[in-house]
Chain A
Amino acid sequence: MLRELTRSMREAGEKALVAFLTAGYPDEETFLRLLDAASRAGCQIIEIGIPFSDPIADGPVIQESSKRALDGGMTLRKALALAGRASETNPSALVFMSYVNPILRMGVERFAEEASRAGVSGVVVPDVPFEESPDIRCTLGKSGITFVDLVAPTSSEDRVASIAEGADGFLYLVSLTGVTGVRSALSGELGDFVQRVRAHTDVPLYVGFGISGPELAAQAAEHADGVIIGSAIIRIVQSSETSDEAVENVRSFLTDVKRAIAR
């Protein structure tokens, strides 16, 4: 269960590092090798992004990786198969990040069963806010999968309270008002934002969106229980010449980030 993992890390005083990888990007085999590299670099949780034709919460970097993955034939079904292969050997917890439509198309129940069989322990659905979440949260829960909630800097006090009350596994704090992507600095309000959420829940708080590397990750980890890195990883893959180079560059980058947040 995701809950035991995230709580035990916090009790051990260990900051969580979550790596985001787009399923099937740049190709299926390299994706699986990237997943292993992230795991070896100390990412206890790996978020697998399901490519979608209309990713409204994503900036240009993840849009591009999604498009490449879709052009390569990636689907939710194939991503489940890849997750199944990964979880046979990979010790990290796997969390899916998918827009809601591919899940609805498959059928929420069938998705929950297959995700459970593939070893997926949590699901983040960026276009399902709290109000629309009860059905999908409940169906996933029956299969032992955690629906991971997001809170944003624009979430009102009431909303933060309601969302925090039902949160499980970890709470995904969107660090900024915007889409995913690499930024050069964190919002000056991040510390206040984390404190504001902390007042409502003891679920571990992980910060994502905009974290470009070790320095910002360390700043975020001063406030939060974990950090989530996506676009920065995808950008490294994009700028690598070969698969071998991409795997090595990502491993080395995440090792640096891990070291930075452990200090």
Chain B
Amino acid sequence: MSDGTRGGGRFGRYGGRFVPETLMSCLLDLEREYAAATEDESFRAELAELLRLYSGRPTPLYPAENLSRECGGRARIYLKREDLNHTGAHKINNCLGQVLLARRMGKRRIVAETGAGQHGVATAAVAARFRMDCTIYMGELDMERQRPNVVRMRLLGAEVVPTASGSRTLKDATNDAIRDWVTNVRNTHYIIGSTVGPHPYPTIVRDFQAVIGREAREQILEAEDRLPSVIVACVGGGSNALGIFSAFLGDEDVALIGVEAGGSPDGHAAALCEGTPGVLHGSYSYLMQDDDGQVELAHSIAPGLDYPGVGPEHSFLMDSGRVTYARVPDREALAAFSDLSRLEGIIPALEPCHALAFTRKMLADRTDGDDVVIVNLSGRGDKDIDAVTDLIEDLTE
């Protein structure tokens, strides 16, 4: 239905490879190498072993009984605990796969962009593990609001380069990572952190994240002897969402819902709900842009969602109607942050709080008594504690 490996990496009309000529040979090499790797039993076995022993997979599918009761008791909510991965989020799934690809291609240096710092930490960790040089670009604003992750990346031996241009967040860090890659493409592999960028990245990242959905499918069948009626995931670039959705795309009775950052009156990051198609960072997809084709600044309290673009496969899935997209504002995500902490003893990252908040609203309208919902809990919230402490106090007083 949406095979990114055919037709120059298009998902319907979305995707493609809008990059400087300097990068084209490298992208074609990566496409070939990835195709060879997926056929290579030893590659698959090594990745499976790393996911198990280094990252701690499989992650549990946890029945959140207190949360379910709080949401009216009409549905059993399960949380896919990607927050329990090594380095604290789903990002490591992709990083482990890509670092093995980099090694296959003989690249000894890694660059990456990071927003929340989760992808940066995961990249720094795998680069350390495989003894590669690692440079991470991060917006100055994000470095301020996610300090603990900056410290982690440096501890792991990565060089963290602040990006001072534009919005000083993820979009601009991505620009700088691409510029570094263009300059050092002969010895450097770019580990892009989401299902964005030029072909073959959206496909590669989706495939490496698909382990989330494969496990969740098996686990829910084990627990409930049925498929869920709804799966909810937050969408920034969209990798955790595609990771869990991909195993259920063929199951028409499973509703798939992607939740974007609705932000505040100051702005949002809802590229799908509010944007129009265009080209950013190498692919054609929905995008926040003005009438002159300049990319607009995103706003979200969750740095991992604070991005004006979205992966091309999501654009395709929205147009086709297979996935429904919604938006949740900052303040509702914040409420979900403290709710889950107190109800389940789990501190979630601000990003999946958008999915949690949506789930709560959705269930408030339900009258059906036997529902099964999975929320992809894509990361843990330790990184957010400094940034939200004041806000949470305001909220809970």
Which residues in A have some Cβ–Cβ distance to B below 8 Å? 52-59, 63, 67, 70, 75-77, 99-106, 126-132, 150-156, 159, 163, 174, 177-179
Contacts and interface: CB of A to CB of B under 8 A. Distances in A.
B295 interface: yes
B22 A105 contact: no
Contacts of A102: 292-294
Contact of B22 (A70, A100, A106, A154): A154
A55 B171 CA distance: 11
Interface residues of B, number: 37
Contacts, number: 120
Interface of B: 8, 16-26, 28, 165-166, 171-172, 175, 178-179, 182-186, 278-282, 287, 289, 291-295
Contacts of B292: 75-77, 102, 105-106
A100 B21 contact: no
A57 B18 contact: no
B278 A159 contact: no
Contacts of A159: 21, 24-25
Nearest to B282: A127
Contacts of A54: 166, 171-172, 175, 280-281, 295
Given A56-B178, A70-B294, A179-B182, A150 B20 contact: yes
B182 A151 contact: no
Contacts of A70: 294
Given A67-B165, A75-B292, 5 more contacts: A53-B166, A54-B172, A105-B278, A154-B24, A174-B20
A52 B20 contact: no
A75 B178 CA distance: 24
6 contacts: A54-B171, A127-B18, A127-B20, A150-B21, A177-B183, A178-B22
A58 B176 CA distance: 10
B296 to A, nearest CB: 8
A140 B22 CA distance: 23
A174 B20 CA distance: 10
A134 B293 CA distance: 21
A50 B40 CA distance: 46
A177 B19 contact: no
Contacts of A128: 18
The residue among B165, B175, B279, B292 with the most chain A CB atoms within 10 A of its own CB is B292
Contact of A152 (B22, B184, B280, B287): B22
A17 B73 CA distance: 74
The residue among B8, B19, B281 with the most chain A CB atoms within 10 A of its own CB is B19
A151 B294 contact: no
Given A104-B279, A155-B24, A52 B294 contact: yes
A153 B185 CA distance: 11
B183 A132 contact: no
B293 A179 contact: no
A105 B291 contact: yes
Contacts of A151: 21
A156 B25 contact: yes
Contact of B21 (A52, A101, A106, A155): A155
B43 to A, nearest CB: 24
Given A178-B182, A178-B183, A130 B278 contact: no
A192 B166 CA distance: 38
Contact of A106 (B26, B179, B293): B293
A131 B8 contact: yes
A63 B163 CA distance: 13
Contacts of A177: 22, 182-186
A152 B20 CA distance: 9
Contacts of B178: 56
Contacts of A58: 179
A150 B395 CA distance: 55
B199 to A, nearest CB: 10
A185 to B, nearest CB: 15
Contacts of A174: 20-22
Contacts of B278: 101, 104-105
B293 A154 contact: no
Nearest to A64: B165
Contacts of A127: 18-20, 279, 282
A154 B186 contact: yes
A233 B185 CA distance: 27
A230 to B, nearest CB: 15
B293 to A, nearest CB: 3
Contacts of A56: 19-20, 175, 178-179, 182, 281
A56 B172 CA distance: 10
Contacts of A132: 8, 16-18
